[in-house]
């Protein structure tokens, strides 16, 4: 785990919330969608299939925990949840990361994917100041 580093693009576009069993969990800084990013704390991972058999259960436990966290974030933001999207793309940032995104049929990108839709709208500082401590207490 000592060789684990966060890709600078992920670091620049998100706020670290803390660490789950295997993953660092980060809040994507896009107020349009309650959105978490999980990064398994292992060096060199690119594909989901790169996660070792020993780490696989911890990864899925972290995804389940992140779903609860993103629902909490959505509730805190007054964002009704119709669907949770869980995805791994890696077309821009190769480092293995899993997106956990709350969606609803009224959000800006519905029913399409959030990727490539408009420009991210960063949270206002007071939103971050209110939301981040709430999420951190649940990690």
What burial class does residue 66 get, using C-beta atoms within 10 Å of its C-beta: 0-12 exposed, 13-18 middle, 19+ buried?
buried
Give the C-alpha separation, 128 to 115, whole Å: 22
Is 91 among the domain residues?
yes
- What does the pLDDT read at residue 122? 97
Is 90 among the domain residues?
yes
Domain with 104, as residue range(s), is 8-136
- What does the pLDDT read at residue 131? 97
At 72, list the tokens.
Answer: 């909490």
- What does the pLDDT read at residue 126? 97
Is 3 among the domain residues?
no
Is 126 among the domain residues?
yes
With a threshold of 0.85, does the pTM exceed it? yes
Q: What is the CATH number of the domain that holds 66?
A: 3.30.428.10
Give the C-alpha separation, 112 to 129, whole Å: 30
Is 2 among the domain residues?
no
- What does the pLDDT read at residue 2? 62
Give the C-alpha separation, 75 to 111, whole Å: 20
- List the chain pLDDT tens, one digit each, 139 residues: 468 999 999 999 999 999 999 999 999 999 999 999 999 999 999 999 999 999 999 999 999 999 999 999 999 999 999 999 999 999 999 999 999 999 999 999 999 999 889 999 999 999 999 999 999 999 9
Is 68 among the domain residues?
yes
The total domain count for the chain is 1
- What does the pLDDT read at residue 116? 87
- What does the pLDDT read at residue 69? 98
């Amino acid at each position: 785990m000592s060789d684990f580093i966060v890709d600078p693009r992920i670091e620049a576009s998100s706020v670290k919330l803390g660490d789950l069993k295997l993953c660092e969990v980060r809040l994507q800084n896009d107020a349009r969608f309650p959105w978490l990013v999980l990064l398994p704390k292992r060096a060199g991972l690119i594909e989901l299939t790169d996660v070792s058999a020993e780490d696989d259960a911890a990864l899925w436990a972290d995804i389940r925990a992140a779903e609860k966290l993103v629902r909490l974030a959505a509730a805190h933001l007054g964002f009704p949840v119709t669907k949770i999207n869980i995805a791994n793309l890696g077309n821009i940032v190769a480092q293995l990361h899993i997106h956990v995104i709350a969606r609803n049929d009224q959000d800006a990108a519905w029913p399409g994917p959030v990727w490539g839709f408009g420009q991210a709208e960063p949270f206002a500082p007071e939103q971050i100041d209110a939301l981040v401590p709430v999420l951190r207490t649940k990690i």
